């Protein structure tokens, strides 16, 4: 028998996508028990009833108290599984054996966590410039460092190694008991990975493990997300966003859009404008962030984050 798994999903008004999420979990081919725990932040739609229909345990999160780190700890503390898998209400597992493949990595008793990848399916209502396509055979990457070795890496390299993702990540429960998520408005998973690597723990990134996940990026949503991510990168790793990382991918996406034969030519201009808007929003967020840091330092950054991101950006499907 494989170790029992608890799947933990924070939700709020996720009825539009939750069925696909839960269905993909319940059809997993897994030689062990899979428990589903839903952390519901006062949903007013049918989300809770959908969860109950799929056999989920519903945990009520007091309205206004949701926190990306601390709320997930509630699920971890209630979970009965030896392995804890975290995802979100608008993501769905790509294959019926993915949880088993992920769990097999924990046969190595040193492994504390495994993360996979997010991918965007080839759906016509989803940005075709971001459709998933592999460019090489996926190979698992194992990360573990000796004392003070991780701290000696550059901030950019540290961030690269800590790109953990609670849209698609599994943890050994004992590891989360020893090192819970901290209180965080964003990036609780990256902070956890940094702490783990600093301690010398072994973690794995396996790009063969896919979930499908998509948010339609309006100008406002993209600006707020990028600003919040830049703020967390500054807080966690001491780095600031740079302009070249904004525009270089745009021209690659533009080229892929124009060459894409799966979408109608009549829709290509709209998608080109959509992607241009995304990158303008990203560029604008970098400019405001760097200006705030230059003229007012960390205090102005804190104030600007409160101004632009009073509430966490919530993505939509279309």
Q: What is the pTM of this model?
A: 0.92
State mean pLDDT over 260-265.
76
State mean pLDDT over 6-16.
96
pLDDT at 318: 62
Band (249; pLDDT cuts 50, 70, 90): confident
| Residues with Cβ within 8 Å of residue 318, at least 6 apart in sequence | 125, 216
pLDDT at 198: 97
State mean pLDDT over 94-114.
98
Share of the chain above pLDDT 90, in %: 72
State mean pLDDT over 217-226.
89
Strand partners, 7: 36, 85
pLDDT at 95: 96
Instruction: Please give the residue that has the higher pLDDT: either 63 or 41.
Output: 41
Closest among 91, 84, 14, 86 to 48, alpha carbons compared: 14
Distances, alpha carbon 274 to alpha carbons 87, 123, 146, in Å: 27, 16, 45
Distances, alpha carbon 106 to alpha carbons 57, 103, 159, 233, in Å: 25, 6, 24, 29
Q: Number of helices and strands (H, E) in the chain?
A: 10, 9
Tell me how far apart the alpha carbons of residues 112 and 119 are, in angstroms, rounded to a whole number.
Answer: 24
Mean residue pLDDT across the chain: 92
């Amino acid at each position: 028998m494989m170790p029992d798994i608890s799947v933990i999903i924070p939700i709020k008004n996720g009825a539009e996508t939750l069925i696909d999420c839960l269905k993909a979990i319940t059809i997993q081919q897994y030689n062990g028990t899979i428990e589903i725990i839903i952390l519901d932040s006062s949903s007013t739609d049918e989300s809770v009833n959908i969860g109950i229909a799929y056999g989920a345990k519903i945990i009520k999160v007091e309205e206004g108290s949701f926190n990306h780190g601390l709320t997930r700890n509630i699920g971890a503390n209630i979970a009965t599984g030896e392995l804890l898998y975290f995802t979100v209400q608008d993501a769905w597992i790509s294959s019926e054996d993915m949880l088993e493949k992920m769990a097999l990595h924990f046969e190595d008793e040193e492994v504390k966590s495994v993360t996979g990848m997010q991918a965007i399916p080839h759906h016509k209502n989803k940005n075709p410039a971001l459709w998933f396509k592999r460019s090489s055979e996926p190979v698992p990457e194992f990360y573990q460092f000796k004392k003070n070795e991780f701290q000696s890496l550059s901030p950019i390299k540290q961030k690269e190694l800590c790109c953990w993702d609670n849209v698609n990540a599994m943890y050994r429960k004992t590891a989360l008991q020893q090192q819970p998520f901290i209180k965080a408005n964003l990036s609780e998973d990256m902070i956890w990975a940094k702490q783990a690597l600093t301690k010398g723990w072994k973690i794995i990134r396996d790009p063969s493990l896919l979930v499908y996940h998509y948010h339609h990026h309006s100008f406002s949503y993209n600006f707020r997300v990028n600003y919040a991510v830049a703020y967390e990168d500054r807080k966690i790793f001491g780095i600031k966003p740079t302009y070249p990382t904004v525009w270089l991918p745009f021209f690659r996406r533009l080229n892929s859009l124009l060459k894409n034969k799966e979408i109608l030519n009549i829709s290509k201009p709209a998608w080109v404008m959509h992607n241009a808007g995304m990158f303008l929003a990203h560029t604008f967020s970098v400019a405001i962030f760097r200006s705030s840091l230059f003229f007012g330092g960390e205090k102005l950054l804190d104030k600007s984050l409160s101004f632009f991101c009073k509430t966490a950006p919530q993505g939509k499907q279309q």
